Structure 1
């Protein structure tokens, strides 16, 4: 933390330390966070950057159970002991968290690693209790019975949002006959894929507005929804049947039936009077089944709610292990899913089974142990957050969601909100701070200090089970002894209170000073997870969302778009990537992905990223070498000192950088790190390396303190120093190395700098437009050279640029010299596209080839027509891309019907089009241009050989060369130029010797070149 006045409060979405090495997707998450925090520090904020770990819950319990070789919850109590088990869980969590920390530090995540928050910490637990107390004070905390998902392996309940994993499982698919009372041979037909719930059946649901049918099959009559008759008969293999009558479902209401297993199930003895048909409205659908739904309020949430309204009993015959209880009669002690087959057989023996088959369907499994879940009516502690739905939706609207669709997703989830099941029947968790006396009075404590004030015995330092269970308190209402409920809190409670529980001592005072949280960010799955948990906790505690902005990021996938898992063989360890490419390459690749979209891992993309980073590094190498060579000291100069020596390319790069700075600052207001990463790299690679340096390189070769060279150095230093600062959140290792080796009189670290201020006076829209046009024309020029087979390093005589707009011509006129340089031509002529007649005269000059001849052969009337209708003809030329006039018409009715310039075959010229016009380059090379092109090729080879010998820019060499006989005179003529370009003190002909000798082929001729360091 710094002494800066503006605060930036960040709360880390705590990763779960179930493994020592974080997934590469978790690395992406942490790198995004690090990039934003680094940027906000540079932006002048006092950043609160405490990392955290979510350390309680089932994943760690299951992992420790595997280590101990146990599979049952009771074994923890009987064989291990709860205290030892909890201690092992704590040890496991802290060990993995420590390992993960080292991985995060290694990738350059700069957070307060000396002071992370752990949800297992006693101070954190104590702080968290304030939320449950607040819920109790608001009348939101209740103990009640509801049907919830239950894991029989872990022996605990799960909330709806924890039921996120499904697997394809095979289950029975059966049609069962419930005999209608007092009507011989008439049956209600129901369909179920959970036969084990039939012993708990209480009533049958229909929709009274549907049409139902009595269907005769043999001597029996089946009641089925009319629209389902055909499908049920087909699936049951019944071909002979007759619909006796069709009637409204309302006629069925109150019809009584007999349970087919009543003699086998003890609990059914008292349920006979409840076995009736009831209306459930739209709950009953006709997409599958029979239109009559078997209902067991103890094992179905919808059944439970409807049964509750109708005063039906809740029959739940399954224990915590998923086994049938005593009241299940014949099925007592049997695991429910295993008992289904026996139940089907018993139905068959009682002739209550119409049809039995198998179905493979998506079935919910435990998110950690992967066991199939069951639904049970069980007593749990709830926080009635449904009472807060309006406040939650209002707060969602207030928050800044990036991207916007995050608001829609979480909003839709809250609209379907259910009450929060806060209790869990496990050991390793945050103990619920709820004590109940024998009279049922509830005492909730809001901190360990409060607990000490009312405790009847000593409060342990470790607030976990089993030690906290020993603490008794005095009931505030009756004065009797109260005992803590045995449950621990939902693990999402732990992370959901992080916004205040992580603040340590005096959290209330700190929260008052620091709130709200400026940013939270996680993957899009956390919209229904952590983001919602924080929102829910914030509204309970303070009435508001605890955060101002939420940033959502995507998932890490493989190249085929699959999630990366070791079991699929497509998982890549972050350390493998780092070893091969380095930290900053991985960071840069991760951050360039659009944040809220899924990222597809790609070795090729990493290779391309490495190349871009190398280009950036080479820019600094170039600048450092030449500035050192000339002893350039940036502290000696100010902008006013160099202003008059600045060229258009200098003003352009200054404009581009300040625009970059302005745009990036704007993007980062919404934490768009991908725009930051992409823009800074595009600037250094495209604007600086591939364009600006090409234009100014020769200025660095001028001897002495030339004003133009000094101005170029000043601009380059300004841009590169500030670029390193701006890029440091993305590539901190590279930026730090650049900063320390390149910046003169810098601070301790690039990370202690502040972002440079945008200078709006340096942003020049018109100049940038001109350079955009230059780059567009230059690209077209390269295309034209490619058609002509002429390399860019070969200078050409002429280039003719035709533009649609007079404004473009005026714009280009200001940077015509830059255009000439980028095109590598001696002369550039710029004209409007309707000046085709002028171009026709140019190409019609002697020795210009077929094009000129064709124009010469045009009749005077056609020439006159072209001159009089230049705009029309020129537009046709531009649209159709032609300069060979094909005239179709009669002298009395002259028309130009088609103009066809064939770019590839224009003799003497190569032509290419671009959005704003077209360019024609002369393919003719003069003797001098041919010589210059050859000499540049030789220089290029010598420079390459210098690199092979790892020579410094200041090292002098002797060049020896054996050229073709007819090229000796050319080399002799250009000897001084070659020496100046290669730092050669001497050029020796007809021999090739030195520290390195290479043979080269240049334009199909053989050259042997040797270089030696002097």
Structure 2
């Protein structure tokens, strides 16, 4: 019987009919059965994130994958078509916080980490179920009854195994470094977790009086709040600097600045005349001592409050850079070269600690006016204006980030960079530029990966430590049986895994788990083998 052509194309009714036909005839199951003896084709689904309904990008991504799977299936291949879901991480935590009305880590811990984590789990599972139905409605054929889920115990174990292998190869290290930090979420962030947009901030020039001299070093900064952590002033060793006398109706003063910026600095200070008294290279300034802005109890070091050299200093503003090793990656490295400790009087919540008594308890991003007022009242403020510039924000809560020195765990990617580049060259990429430019450029610029996060809903770091310094990295659940507090099949999320301890083989004291969880990007990064249940 010939079915008459429809006068109008009704997409909804046609789609419904096809879906019902596939279901009634078990079309997916029959197709897979027909291909079971074919040559195996391994496909890994990069997992979508379970924070809401699928969006156009997710829909397009799955549609392209569906086309690929169908193509190879129609060519007789037995396709491994397991879908995956990325179900941990800060984005889910932030959604749950809003749903249950908590606003900080303190609130979460008062509620109970167990209750918060269970709520995150329920939230993620509910959205995974919703997304599955939405993908089915798109007509995507995958093994929807058996998805891999990053929250499953076997998946967590595979991630642990990966980290243990990294530790054995000398690629997993802990270190105190300056990292990007969200004061609202109270955790370290990766560069990929930061969004940038324009912000208006103070732009100030500050006098640092030279000890035993009537001249001042003149620095410039857009972060007045970091002046409490100032430990040095950086100059470029090869640039031309000058000691100048600024003068005019308001009086006169002597400053050390970048010579090429003399007229600019003169105008900023409201002076009419600038006289060069002496010229010198930046290298000649090294070691000059100055009076700190705030007289704080900082860790002692030979190079505290002295001029240091750094090649990242640029030829703009005053040419002298306020250096706070506790609040800037470049500053930290400079401090490390000179043996200057990273002083960081800022807590996880972005408030000053009692190490800065003048403003203890205040949020650092709210004290600009207070700091500027203090500088002005104490004769340190040379100029104050505003600047519009790009500034980083947490990708989920949208709060401005800060930099602070904390202890974190890193995978030392540069050590395996050559191997990674070789694998990129060995693979066939479609289109070619995806590998030859995008992936290759990313790997060439890769630095140590900060994989630790100070949160709750994530794969727990499988690292146990003793106060004597001994460390233990667990790779499989079988190893937990040697400790106290473990039972077979227990949930290895926080807070339950936090109760598992070991006896230190070195000193006999108790080893506790590092409280951090893994960067959620690590979850999806191990999908190629974790989805297979590796290493079992």
Counterpart of 1:440 in structure 2 is 469
1:230 positional shift: 2.4
Residues 1:471 and 2:471 aligned together: no
Q: Is the 8 A contact 1:54 1:495 kept in 2?
A: yes
Distance (whole Å) between structure 2 residues aligned to residue 251 and residue 190 of structure 1: 17
Counterpart of 1:326 in structure 2 is 354
1:300 positional shift: 0.6
Counterpart of 2:209 in structure 1 is 179
1:82 positional shift: 0.7
Indicate which of 68, 72, 95 corresponds to 2:104: 72
Indicate which of 180, 193, 200 corresponds to 1:162: 193
Counterpart of 1:209 in structure 2 is 238
Counterpart of 1:284 in structure 2 is 313
| RMSD of aligned Cα (Å) | 1.8
Counterpart of 1:57 in structure 2 is 89
1:455 positional shift: 4.4
Instruction: Check 1:31–1:290 CA distance in 2 against 1; reply closer, same or farther (3 A cut).
Output: same
Counterpart of 1:661 in structure 2 is none
1:420 positional shift: 1.5
Counterpart of 2:13 in structure 1 is none
Residues 1:108 and 2:121 aligned together: no
Counterpart of 2:59 in structure 1 is 27
1:161 positional shift: 3.0
Instruction: Check 1:290–1:84 CA distance in 2 against 1; reply closer, same or farther (3 A cut).
Output: same
Comparing 436-445 with 131-140, which one deviates more in the overlay? 436-445
Counterpart of 1:87 in structure 2 is 118
Residues 1:13 and 2:46 aligned together: yes
Counterpart of 2:523 in structure 1 is 494
1:269 positional shift: 9.0
Calculate the TM-score normalised by the size of structure 1: 0.48
1:310 positional shift: 1.2
Match of 1:257, SS state, is coil
Counterpart of 2:443 in structure 1 is 414
Counterpart of 2:73 in structure 1 is 41
Distance (whole Å) between structure 2 residues aligned to residue 449 and residue 477 of structure 1: 21
Counterpart of 2:392 in structure 1 is 364
Q: Is the 8 A contact 1:460 1:467 kept in 2?
A: no
Distance (whole Å) between structure 2 residues aligned to residue 226 and residue 396 of structure 1: 48
1:261 positional shift: 2.5
Counterpart of 2:171 in structure 1 is 140
Q: Deviations over 1:336-381 (max 9, x none)?
A: 1111211111011111111001112110000111100000110011
Distance (whole Å) between structure 2 residues aligned to residue 226 and residue 275 of structure 1: 22
For residues 915-934 of structure 1, the aligned pairs below 5 Å read none
Counterpart of 2:380 in structure 1 is 352
Q: Deviations over 1:825-868 (max 9, x none)?
A: xxxxxxxxxxxxxxxxxxxxxxxxxxxxxxxxxxxxxxxxxxxx
In structure 1, runs of 5+ residues without a counterpart are 510-1014
1:260 positional shift: 2.6
1:221 positional shift: 0.9
1:414 positional shift: 2.2
Q: Deviations over 1:36-70 (max 9, x none)?
A: 00001011111011111101001110000001112
Distance (whole Å) between structure 2 residues aligned to residue 467 and residue 73 of structure 1: 18
Distance (whole Å) between structure 1 residues aligned to residue 432 and residue 336 of structure 2: 40
1:236 positional shift: 4.0
Q: Is the 8 A contact 1:191 1:294 kept in 2?
A: yes
In structure 2, runs of 5+ residues without a counterpart are 1-31
Instruction: Check 1:82–1:397 CA distance in 2 against 1; reply closer, same or farther (3 A cut).
Output: same
Indicate which of 266, 272, 279 corresponds to 1:233: 266
Match of 2:346, SS state, is coil
Q: Deviations over 1:505-531 (max 9, x none)?
A: xx346xxxxxxxxxxxxxxxxxxxxxx
Distance (whole Å) between structure 2 residues aligned to residue 273 and residue 208 of structure 1: 16
Q: Is the 8 A contact 1:156 1:425 kept in 2?
A: yes
Indicate which of 401, 407, 418 corresponds to 1:390: 418
Instruction: Check 1:169–1:99 CA distance in 2 against 1; reply closer, same or farther (3 A cut).
Output: same
Distance (whole Å) between structure 1 residues aligned to residue 508 and residue 165 of structure 2: 22
1:405 positional shift: 2.4
Distance (whole Å) between structure 2 residues aligned to residue 354 and residue 440 of structure 1: 48
Structure number with higher relative contact order (C-alpha < 8 Å, ≥ 6 residues apart): 2
1:15 positional shift: 0.6
Counterpart of 1:665 in structure 2 is none
1:478 positional shift: 5.1
Distance (whole Å) between structure 2 residues aligned to residue 239 and residue 88 of structure 1: 65
Counterpart of 1:190 in structure 2 is 219
Q: Is the 8 A contact 2:303 2:340 kept in 1?
A: no
1:159 positional shift: 1.9
Q: Is the 8 A contact 2:299 2:343 kept in 1?
A: no
Calculate the TM-score normalised by the size of structure 2: 0.89
Distance (whole Å) between structure 2 residues aligned to residue 349 and residue 270 of structure 1: 28
Counterpart of 1:246 in structure 2 is 279
| Between structures 1 and 2, the one with greater helix share | 1
Q: Deviations over 1:736-761 (max 9, x none)?
A: xxxxxxxxxxxxxxxxxxxxxxxxxx
Q: Is the 8 A contact 2:246 2:266 kept in 1?
A: no
Distance (whole Å) between structure 1 residues aligned to residue 401 and residue 211 of structure 2: 35
Distance (whole Å) between structure 2 residues aligned to residue 465 and residue 144 of structure 1: 23
| Count of matched residue positions in the alignment of Structure 1 and Structure 2 | 498
Distance (whole Å) between structure 2 residues aligned to residue 189 and residue 130 of structure 1: 52
Counterpart of 1:527 in structure 2 is none
Distance (whole Å) between structure 2 residues aligned to residue 8 and residue 222 of structure 1: 71
Distance (whole Å) between structure 2 residues aligned to residue 168 and residue 471 of structure 1: 46
